[in-house]
Structures are given as C-alpha cells and as structure tokens.
Structure 1
Amino acid sequence: MKEPTELEQLVSLVARNPGEAARRLRERSDRTPGTGPLSHLAMLRFDAARHGVTGPLTGAGALARTLIESGTPVDGLPEDPETPLITAASYGDAEVARVLLDAGADLDSTASPDAGGVRGGTALLHAAVFGMTAVLDLLLAAGARVGSLSEAAAAGTVTGWLTADTPPLDRVRALAMAADHERLAVIDQLLEARTPIDAEDTHYRRQALRLAATRGRTRSVAHLLSRGADPQHRDPFTHRTALEWCRELGGGTAVEALLTA
C-alpha cells in the first residue's frame, strides 16, 4: 500500500482534530510568536527543505481548503502581521492563493508596519516586489486594485500611470518591476519615456538588468540588452555585474549565455 504524503497526513490530522485548524503554530514557524496554519502552508513550498518536508509538494490547495472548511479564518489569526493571501503572494504559491481567493480572502488587506515583507503592502504589491507573476495575475483577475506605477508595470500596463510628470525614481522602479515580470511592452514604454535603462532603484536597491538576470527572466534580459543595457554595470553596494549576481543566485545558464555573448 502506498504511503501517504506529508500533506495527506496533515489533511487526515485536521479531519480527526478540527480544532488544530485554528491553532497558532509555534514550534515549526520562522515567525514570532508563530503563525497560523494557513500562512504556514502558504510558505511551505519555499521553506520545505528547511522544515524537513521531503518529496513532491502536491495537494497544498486541497489542504488549504480543508483548513478553511475546518474553521481556519481565511484572513488569518488575530495579531498575524499579514494575511495568508499576502504570504502566498510573497512566496509564490498560486495553488494556495487560488483557494484563498475562492474562499473570499480580502484583496485589500495590508501587512502590518512591522511585517517582514513589504511593510504596509497589499498582496498585489508583495507579488509584484517578489516577482511572483503567477500569483499577481490571479490577484488581478480576482479584482485586485493597482495602486501605483510600479504595480501597473508589474501588471503589464502603465496606461494612465506613466505621465510626463512621473518622478524619475518612480520610472526606474517601474522599469525593474517590468523586467522582473517580463512585461516587454512596458519596458519599451518606460524607455521611450526617457527612463535611464541602467539606473538604480534606491528604494528596493534593484536595477532592471540585474534583477532580471538573478531571477532567470531570459526574455527580459535579452530585451534589455537589445535596448542598450550595459552588462558591465556594477551595483553600487557590492560592485558586482549582473552576470556575477546571476551566477551566485542561480539565474540559469540561458541568462549567463546572453550576458556573455
């Protein structure tokens, strides 16, 4: 008989003990004073190895649905620094995010001022900043509201947001967002608006080519290079090139090939 997976065992546990669905996790959490089970699940794919979870992580959506049906609040537990949807957006779990959205998760909730991600940010902003395009697209389809040029760039359309009066730093930040989410048409719009292609976003300490390279965004890297991005540009903090960052953070051989061509 096939052994049940870790997630299947958790589904069985919650079915036998419904009260566990609303209990804050303290021992197996990287947050203080612990996190709710839905938020823990939302970051499980990212933290699997560190938490001792092995094998393919299938069924996360089914478990999230079981937790909600068993009484876990869809928007998290009291005093949580962010909602499970924000956590799913930060960690890129589209399967869990879809279940949360179907259950009515609040799209407009914001992280607390002392949260560890994007302080005060919505789920949409977290997905935009952390490069989680699949979750970002789900949020947009569910009706999430774009609130800035940066979010608009990540979403793929800056119409109505990019104007002649847009501050330079906002345009530079938007360029990095567009590169991260491979919104090539938005990259072109921003460059046509005289956004400097190699400029640094001092708020998030990012730059378009470097960010695209470290995240393995092959199409964005190729497009930026074709538009004149300097592969020898060094970041002002560690003085590394996009290629050096790509190699350190695992951007992939396809990106490396583009940067060394």
Structure 2
Amino acid sequence: MKQDNLNERNKEFVQAPLQQPVFLNSVPKCGTHLIRNIMRMFVPVEQQYHDTFLQIPNLRGHLRALSPEAPKLSWGHMLFSDDSAMAISPARHILLVRDPYSWVLARARFFLSENFDGGIGHLRSDKLEPEVLMNLMIFGIHGKAPELKDIFTFNAAAWLGTHACLYRYEDMVQHLKDINSLRAEQYFRQLLTDCGIAVPDDWRERVIIGSDKAQSSTSRDNLDVDDSRLPDVLPDAQKKLVDYAVPGLRALLGYA
C-alpha cells in the first residue's frame, strides 16, 4: 500500500488536543480512507491511533485506542456487538455508509484489483461475466466473502439509534466537489462538531489536503485494476437483487 505524507502535512497547522476519543466507523468500501485522512488534518499526530484498523478480532488488544484517559482518533470497521458497544461507549462515534447500489460496484472493483489478496484471485478471470461478479458481491461467496446483508446489518444498521452519527459517503463527495459553498461549510462544521473538534478558520485547506486522492491507497484512481468489465452504474437487474436481498436498507440509510 502506498504511504501518504499526511503526518508531515499535519504539522503545517496548529492542532488542538482531543478532549474525548473519536472513532470513525465505516462499512468496508464506503470511504474509510477518505474520512480518516480528512480528520487526520484536525488532530495532533500523537493522538492518532495508527497501529491498526479496529475490528472485532483485534479489539481487545487495542482498547487503548478508545480510552477516555488518553483520547485518540481511531478508525475501523466495527461490527455491532456487546463488546464493541462497550468499547466505543466513551468515544464520539461517526458511522460512514454508502449507497448499497454503488457499494456493490466499489466492492467488485476492489476484489478485482491487484491490491486485494483474499484468496479469490480467480474472480479476475474474464471467464466470469460481470453480472455474475456483481451478484457475488450481493449474495456473498460461500465460505470466502460475506453477503451484502450481513455486512450492512452488523456494520451499519445495528448501530443506528445509538449515539453514532450517521454520514453518507455520497454527501461527503458532493460537498468536496463544491467545497467553497455555504452548504459544504455547514456540512464539515457539523462533522467536526460531532467529533468534538473546534472548527479552525483554515478548515477548508485542511479538508482539501486530507481528501486528496493521491493520499489514499484505496482510492479508485490508485487501484491497480482493470475494471472495464464493470459498468459505471449498477444495472437495473442488480438493483432489484439488492432490494430483494436487503429490503428497506436504502430507505433506512436515507437513500430512498
């Protein structure tokens, strides 16, 4: 994975210490690196938890990332459970999701990329028609990759109604494209406020640096992948399959 230089860029700005832990939780392939890199520009490097992406399997070994005694900014893909809810309870909790329609394609591109090593490299074979690949993203690969329903149920839906603050990837991207607008300012001010961070006058410059695609190893532009087999928009047949697999999910997340 390509290394970024955001720790060095962070030092160009005056950083106020965190007063409370902040956890950036996301569904995999929903803009994890984007929100992480943006927020890294607002927190002292020494208060950023770079040891790992927090997940259920490694949570007990990294509880210090969420300790209120030594507040840090951390990130990961945290399944909803009693243990994870207890661990996150002291932290400000940001939950990032993506439209399940576009998520299917984002996940497929990542699985096709040379960046991904999950024991399913055979998916890159052109013998597999793109419609089959998209359906595998929706319904999972038995014993190898979970289905969309499980991922969105435990990484997103189950956290709703708690103190987690829901954010949508598409909204963030839209406001980045129109960063000088009043609506973008309101959006990023709310994000920083939800993270317990005072909004500095130079917030826009920090956001622009953090959101630079060149700084993200998992950005579509930086993936080593031939995704010409995949459409830019999910076909109607696969949209219907998403609605069949997870009825009501898109409405629950604010997409319908």
Q: So what's the TM-score if we normalise by structure 2?
A: 0.23
Higher relative contact order (CA 8 A, sep 6+): 2
Q: So what's the TM-score if we normalise by structure 1?
A: 0.23
Which structure features the higher share of strand residues? 2
> Which one has a bigger Cα radius of gyration?
1
